[in-house]
Structure 1
């Protein structure tokens, strides 16, 4: 069981979140950058393994190579989950005033990874179903008028933007509050909806940081990725509270069930 119920939401200050995020990154810049580099290299290795088993069209070359491609893809997902958990843990530690070490990032937490994967998967399925419905409606309307066929797709795009911003903190909610998929999605809606515009502004600020990193000869991404993680976690702490309800920072959730299924 996790410790207690989540605290009441508060208002987001985007500029303060950016300031706090940068200050947190500055407490251990080389550790953050080093882990980002490690994560990129490991992801590239498994991506290469996945490509070994497929042709230019992305189809398996043979039965055995299909297994190689599958193993590479699964390993890539696991590494991405591990990296996401690590960046939240490292940024949280820095925002608490600490200096996260490399061990803070590389520690394995299977329970946290399962929560993140499960909640992200459910959200992805729901979004996928929405897009399928929109595509079906667009196809049906296209039989009547090509001009009107764009309307369902436009509505779907607007809803998609709403959901992306609405669920901006799904990773942190999943990792730090221990909620199941539906509860985590509902928690995001309840907290973000009243200040959706502010969270949109936060997303744009993070996009600008990533763009600056990309423009800095791509190498800047190794700085931009952890900076964005710190900014996002700082914003989460402003809005959702500063309590670790799952023991993510201490590792005390490692042997627990992965929270509620809903």
Structure 2
């Protein structure tokens, strides 16, 4: 049964999230790794198609090849969205005590992908506007003093770090709570702000896992990426609750209308 409202937030325990995430990955390690490998291969194919239509500077070679590059880029975005939804679904299933199969990952969920794309796009636009304002201020201040020009950029960097941590769970909120972009961003702020430091610690722990994967001859990333997905989803479940409000796991999507910007 799909609930109509999210539960109240709880406190994040980073070490418990890491433990739960690793335990979830361990329930189906070869499936997680296999899907990560598949996702990498498919992304590489479409990235190659995109490069076919561009020169070394990244500019289209010709009109028809520009279309090829565009198709490759669009397909790459779609594959990334599909992979993100799949990793959240697979990690959620494992955290529920299940043993996710390959079918759990590859199932197509267009509505969930639209929610994820829409919410991520709005957040990206807002961050982009903030950086443009900071760059404009830096340029204006530079006319008065080169030394002071760094201040707006420094403030923008600090705000960017705050937002990145603040919106750490945007993917899970979008996929499992079905909120529009503004509501999803506000939900992240309301829940994460009181424990921002703990979520920062979580982000550093996930970075350490990815770094270990990179150091393990790069192939370790095929393990590290799903492990981080499991850790992140375990942390989300601690803080936001364990209820699937949209039917992501069952396929009976009940998210907000894809046109909603609220």
Deviation at 1:122, TM superposition (A): 0.1
* Structure-2 separation of matches of 1:127 and 1:252: 32
Flag as ranges the 4+ runs of structure 1 deviating above 2 A: 254-261
Q: Does the aligned pair in 2 maintain the 1:28–1:100 contact within 8 Å? A: yes
After superposition, the Cα gap between the structure-2 partners of 1:255 and 1:196, relative to the gap in structure 1 and judged at 3 Å, is closer
1:94-150 per-residue CA deviation (whole Å, 9 max, x = no partner) reads: 000000000000000000000000000000000000000000000000000000000
TM-score, length-scaled by structure 2: 0.98
Q: Whole-Å Cα distance in 1 between the matches of residues 223 and 210 of structure 2?
A: 9
Q: Give the 3 Å change call, closer, same or farther, for CA 255–151 of structure 1 in structure 2.
A: closer
Alpha-carbon offset, residue 261 of structure 1: 2.6
Q: CA deviation at 1:90?
A: 0.0
Q: Is the 8 A contact 1:46 1:72 kept in 2?
A: yes
Normalized against structure 1, the TM-score is what?
0.98
Distance 1:204 1:260 in 2: 33
Shift in Å, 1:255: 9.4
Q: How many residues align?
A: 262
- Residue 258 of structure 1 deviates from its aligned partner by 3.3
Give the conservation status (yes or no) of the 8 Å contact 1:178–1:259: no
Q: CA deviation at 1:260?
A: 4.0
Counterparts of 1:221 and 1:255, CA distance in 2: 32
SS at match of 1:18: helix
Please state how far the C-alpha of 1:68 moved relative to its aligned partner. Answer: 0.2
Report the alpha carbon displacement of residue 259 of structure 1 after superposing the two structures with TM: 7.8
Q: Is the 8 A contact 2:134 2:153 kept in 1?
A: yes
Which 5+ residue runs of structure 2 have no aligned equivalent? none
- Asked if the contact 1:93–1:249 (Cα under 8 Å) also holds between the matched residues in 2, the reply is yes
1:1-39 deviations in whole A, cap 9, x for unaligned?
A: 973111000000000000000000000000000000000
